[in-house]
Structures are given as C-alpha cells and as structure tokens.
Amino acid sequence: MVERVEVSVSTPYPVVVGEDLDLAGSISEALEPGAAFVLTDSNVGPRHARSVARDLEEGGWRVLDVIEIPAGESSKSLKVYGDVVGRLAASGLTRDGTLFALGGGVVGDLGGFAAATYMRGISFVALPTTLLAMVDSSVGGKVGVDLPEGKNLAGAFLRPRVVVADLKRLETLPDRELSCGLAEVIKMGLLAGGDYFEDLGQVDDARSRDADALRTLVLDSVRFKADVVADDELETGRRAILNYGHTIGHALEAAADYALLHGEVISAGMVAAAHLSREKLGTDLVELHQNLLWSAGLPTKAPAADPDQILVAMGRDKKRRSGDGPAHRFVLLEDIGRPVWGVPVTDDEARQAIEAII
C-alpha cells in the first residue's frame, strides 16, 4: 500500500510512504530523471545504497557518484559539509542535478544543507532510513550542520522535491534507534490528541516491528507534522510546539556529552515537561507519559546529571529568544492534544522538574 501526504507549503512536496516502493516511480511525478548524486553514511551505504543506485539507473537516472560519510552526529560538521560540496563539484554535478540523501537525520540535514547551498540550490530528494528521519527530520525543510558552539547553528530552510519513506529500510535499523524514533512519534501523538493519540496504543507493536503499526504511526506523524509545518513553516508561532520535551532534552544531551541518543533525552525531557505541566497547569499526565515511553523501550529518567549544569546548558539553547529575561520558555500540555507554547518558567521551577527526572 502506497500513501502520499502533501506538505502544503509555498512549494508543496509529497511524502510517499509504503513498503518496497518503486523508487524511480515514486519520484517521477515530482522530477524528470537526470544527473543524480547519492549521499549516505557508513552504516546505511553498505546495506541500501546499491539498490537505490540500481533503481535510479533503471528509472533513467544517471548516478554520478555515491558518497559515504562516517555514520554519526560528528559528520554534521562544516568540515564534512565542505568535503561533500567539494565532491559535488568534482563529480561535475550541474544546477539541474539532484542530490539524494539516503540515511537518517544526519545525512538528511547535512545533505539538505549541501543541496541548498551548492550552486545556490539544486534539487533535493530525501530517502529517510531511520524512523526518526521518516516521522520528523525529513519533513519540514530544516537542514543544517552543527558548529563547535552548538547543534544546528548553521542551516537553512529547503523544500525537498519529494520524500520517499520506504518502511522496508527500517528492517536493518537497530532497536535502540527504532525506540528513538518512537519518542518523536509519542511526542506528536500527545500534541495532536484525537485518533493519533489513540493510535499510540500501537507503539508496543511498532517496537516489535509490526508492519501495520509502523505504517499507521509513520502516517499519523507525517500528516501531523505536515499540518503544523504548512501552518507555520518558518516557526514564528505554532511550529514551536514540536519542541515539546526538547528544552530540557537538548540540555541533557549537551550535559551528557552526547552519550545518550536524541530520542532518549527527549523521552526524559517530556517527563520533565509533564511535571511542569502538572505544577503550572494542573493536569497530571506524568504516569501516562511514563507508560507510553516505557512501551517504546525508552528511559524516563536521565542518569545522575547535575541540575546546575543542565540549567546552564538550557541558557544556551538557541530556541531561547534573545532579550528573554531570566525565565525559560516551555511548551507544556494543558491536556492531551492541547499544547501551549512560550510558557515562562523560572530557574527554580525548571530545577524542580529536572530533579524529578534524575
């Protein structure tokens, strides 16, 4: 079964979701075959790059080069970005060429940034291979790299021509990475409420790689994120809700020196946000959060982190608005499906929420 979700921004693009998809066919409505460049990483490349290159060639594409970057966040750097655009130039890719990013969020963010800037912009196709990339990072157009000073500090907005999420590729994804994708799935289900929230009952099955549960939850997430992005692409308002759990989560990530995976810190960060929601808005969703996150195999506590260090790291979160006073700004839940954003939180309140998850 193939589903297409339209992301209705100024230049709309489809997200194609299915299993064992015909790649060239899936993109043919959006793009004429031409010169292609495939970017992947050292885990995904050996498993999936050959079949992608073959499918493209059979569909009339000319694959000029397949470049494999080392797997991991450290590749989302200016150095690797420079290597990639250098290889694009060396391969002779022209302005009418297309960059295919085959991988998780790292390959997607880096590849998107390369595509947005090489010759002031070439066509970009995202082929997400992690659950996180399928449900979150490949939809919405944010691309970029990290700087030594912080994550995602250099970037751009780039609309892909098409996103192809082939669920079959998840078969080789390690369990821990699958759980991390489920953290973002749970986040959006809590924000969305309604049928999507009901579908979170299938998280357990998705974790065991049940194909129907995965398809349902990927589609729910893509539809929800597409709706939020269509509403507020450049994040001047409502898109901020997608940072639910991320204020403390990002700080935990930095304080733990990136030893924890993103989904794991977001999981603990959402529990902290649930504590804050209870204190400030009077809705107790803490146990509900814990049960959902446990069903995804995620931690709900952060190992012995230092609250002071986390508070300092929160001060550096780039999502803070310049000119903000001492208060932090949080996304909290008034109820399931009723997020509020920009809620001011004092250092003391934040500290209590952090202590609750240590």
* Position 233 contacts ligand NAD (CB under 6 A): no
* SS3 labels along the chain: CCEEEEECCCCCEEEEEECCCCHHHHHCCCCCCCEEEEEEECCHHHHHHHHHHHHHHHCCCEEEEEEEECCCHHHCCHHHHHHHHHHHHHCCCCCCCEEEEEECHHHHHHHHHHHHHHHHCCEEEEEECCHHHHHHHCCCCEEEEEECCEEEEEEEECCCCEEEEEHHHHHHCCHHHHHHHHHHHHHHHHHHCHHHHHHHHHHHHHHCCCHHHHHHHHHHHHHHHHHHHHHCCCCCCHHHHHHCCHHHHHHHHHHCCCCCCHHHHHHHHHHHHHHHHHHHHCCCCHHHHHHHHHHCCCCCCCCCCCHHHHHHHHHCCCCCCCCCCCCEEEEEEEECCEEEEEEEECHHHHHHHHHHCC
Rounded least distance, CB 333 to ligand NAD, Å: 20
Beta carbon nearer to ligand NAD, 135 or 349: 135
- Which position among 68, 177, 184, 253 bears the catalytic label? 184
Rounded least distance, CB 111 to ligand NAD, Å: 11
Q: Does the active-site annotation cover 246?
A: yes
Among 38, 44, 135, 310, binds ligand NAD (CB under 6 A): 44
Rounded least distance, CB 260 to ligand NAD, Å: 12
Among 123, 129, 247, 295, binds ligand NAD (CB under 6 A): 129
Beta carbon nearer to ligand NAD, 109 or 199: 109
Beta carbon nearer to ligand NAD, 178 or 332: 178
Among 109, 166, 199, 349, binds ligand NAD (CB under 6 A): 109
Q: Does the active-site annotation cover 168?
A: no
| Interaction mask 67-86, ligand NAD, x per CB under 6 A | ----xxx--x----------
Q: Does the active-site annotation cover 225?
A: yes
Q: Name the residues that contact ligand NAD, by CB under 6 A.
A: 41, 43-44, 47, 71-73, 76, 103-107, 109, 129-130, 132-133, 136-137, 140, 142, 151-152, 169, 172-173, 177, 180, 262
Residues recognised as catalytic: 120, 142, 184, 225, 235, 239, 243, 246, 250, 262
